[in-house]
């Protein structure tokens, strides 16, 4: 069983204890920090662990802070995550049996280490019962899908990906589309975008490292095909001060003239 785990500084000692405990149970544990009792921000480590669980369907995660509230909030922002803050064995067991929780949230200050370990064991030993509970969990998943679809339906670049708005394509593979900018700022100006809707550079996580690398390689390929052998520039604007207008991440590929520096 793969288990991704993360904590802030307040949950660090309990996390170390749980990592040992899970190792003894033969689990494969991936520790997303923090790595000491020095002050750490719970969203950093909670998101890393929750995103890893979402990336590996069927795996489980554990996130820990002082009372579990911040970690609950952040883990439940990740699509596909059902994170349950549990303070006793009954809650832990039910969160698996009824809610198909895939992330357990513990509060280091909510119970003693031994009692938190009992909560953890109860959680690991229970499994989803399906039936009427499957219908209810499906409604949670459906709500997630609706939120995503409404974001996407307002997005110009998702419409270009779907072919609903025409664009002059210069690149396409399974994950990425490149097309000419409608209002070019250089003789050659294209945009490279992921096919999935990600709003800003700040929404990227470790799971997007490959994708962003492939976007740069796609730009390199397009630049070569367009004969930009004397140089080109890649630009990615993030949020208002950088002038981001379209909230679906994109990398501008500019070339065909001598580009000045610094940009405005
Ligand atoms: P940003 O300012 O967000 O970094 O860049 C957005 C870019 O998208 C701008 O350069 C703008 O010209 C381009 N753009 C906006 N709407 C469309 C469109 O419907 N089609 C194409 N091809 N480009 C667009
Ligand atoms: Zn989009």
Domain's final residue, options 133, 164, 185 = 133
- Ligand 1: residue whose CA is nearest its atom 20: 182
CATH of the domain at 159: 3.30.428.10
Provide the domain limits for residue 18.
2-133
pLDDT digits (tens, 9 = 90+) for 162-212: 999 999 999 999 999 999 999 999 999 999 999 999 999 998 888 899 999
Q: State the pLDDT at residue 104.
A: 98
Share of the chain above pLDDT 90, in %: 88
Beta strands in the chain (DSSP E): 2-7, 28-31, 60-65, 83-85, 103-107, 169-172, 176-180, 188-194, 232-235, 251-255
Ligand 1 atom 12, closest CA: 183
- State whether 6 and 95 are in the same domain: yes
- As annotated, the active-site residues are 65, 98
pLDDT at site 2: 95
- C-alpha 251 – ligand 1 centre gap (Å): 10
Q: What is the mean pLDDT of residues 59-87?
A: 96
Closest CA to ligand 1's atom 21 = 182
Tokens representing 174 are: 């399974």
In a domain, 150, yes or no: no
User: How far is 71 from 95, CA to CA, in rounded Å?
Assistant: 16
Tell which atom from ligand 1 comes closest to the C-alpha of 243. Answer: 2
Higher pLDDT residue, 1 or 17? 17
Ligand 1 pocket by Cβ (under 6 Å) = 156, 165, 167, 179-183, 191, 237, 243-246
Tens digits of residue pLDDT in 99-153: 999 999 999 999 999 999 999 999 999 999 999 999 999 999 988 877 777 777 8
Q: Relative to the alpha carbon of 245, which ligand is closest?
A: 1
Report, as an integer, the average pLDDT of 10-29. 97
Place 23 in a pLDDT band, splitting at 50, 70 and 90.
Answer: very high
Tell me the CA end-to-end span of the chain in Å, nearest whole number: 51
Q: Across all residues in the chain, what is the average pLDDT?
A: 95
Total number of domains in the chain: 2
pLDDT of 151 reads: 78
Same domain, 62 and 116: yes
Beta strands 60-65; 83-85: pairing state = unpaired
Q: Sign of dihedral through CA atoms 106, 17, 100, 33?
A: positive
Average pLDDT over residues 229-248: 95
**Residue-level pLDDT at 192:** 98
Q: Are strands 60-65 and 2-7 parallel, antiparallel or unpaired?
A: parallel
pLDDT of residue 154: 87
DSSP per position, 13-37: HHHHHHHHHHHHTT-EEEE----SS
CATH code of the domain in which 121 resides: 3.40.1400.10
Sheet holding 188-194, edge to edge: 169-172, 176-180, 188-194, 251-255, 232-235
Are 182 and 166 contacting, i.e. CB atoms less than 8 angstroms apart?
no
**Model-level pTM?**
0.63
What would the two tokens of residue 116 be?
Answer: 């938190």
At 222, is the secondary structure helix, strand, or coil?
Answer: helix
Counting from 1 in the atom list of ligand 1, the atom nearest the Cα of 185 is 10
Helix (H, G, I), strand (E, B) or coil at 226: coil
Q: Identify the three-state secondary structure at position 124.
A: helix
Take residue 11 and report the two structure tokens written for it.
């949950």
**In the prediction, which pLDDT does 264 show?**
79
CA of 181 to the centre of ligand 1 (A): 6
Per residue in 32-53, pLDDT (tens digit) is 999 999 999 999 999 999 999 9
């Amino acid at each position: 069983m793969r288990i991704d785990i993360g904590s802030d500084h307040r949950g660090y000692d309990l996390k170390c204890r749980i990592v040992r405990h899970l190792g003894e149970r033969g689990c494969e544990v991936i520790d997303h920090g923090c790595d000491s009792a020095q002050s750490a921000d719970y969203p950093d480590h909670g998101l890393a662990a929750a995103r890893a669980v979402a990336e590996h369907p069927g795996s489980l995660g554990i996130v820990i802070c002082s009372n579990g509230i911040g970690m609950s909030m952040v883990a439940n922002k990740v699509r596909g995550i059902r994170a349950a803050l549990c303070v006793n064995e009954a809650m832990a067991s039910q969160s698996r049996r009824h809610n198909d929780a895939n992330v357990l949230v513990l509060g280091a200050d909510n119970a003693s280490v031994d009692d938190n370990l009992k909560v953890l064991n109860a959680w690991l030993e229970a499994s989803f019962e399906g039936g009427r509970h499957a219908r209810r969990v499906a409604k949670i998943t459906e709500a997630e899908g609706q939120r995503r679809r409404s974001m996407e339906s307002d997005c110009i670049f998702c419409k270009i990906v779907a072919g609903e708005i025409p664009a002059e394509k210069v690149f396409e593979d399974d994950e990425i589309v490149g097309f000419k900018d409608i209002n070019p700022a250089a003789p050659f100006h294209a945009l490279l975008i992921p096919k999935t809707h990600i709003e800003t550079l700040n929404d990227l996580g470790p799971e997007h490292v490959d994708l962003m690398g492939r976007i740069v390689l796609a730009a390199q390929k397009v630049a070569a095909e367009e004969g930009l052998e004397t140089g080109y520039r890649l630009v990615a604007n993030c949020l208002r001060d950088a002038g981001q207008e379209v909230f679906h991440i994109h990398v501008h590929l500019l070339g065909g003239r001598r580009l000045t520096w610094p940009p405005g």
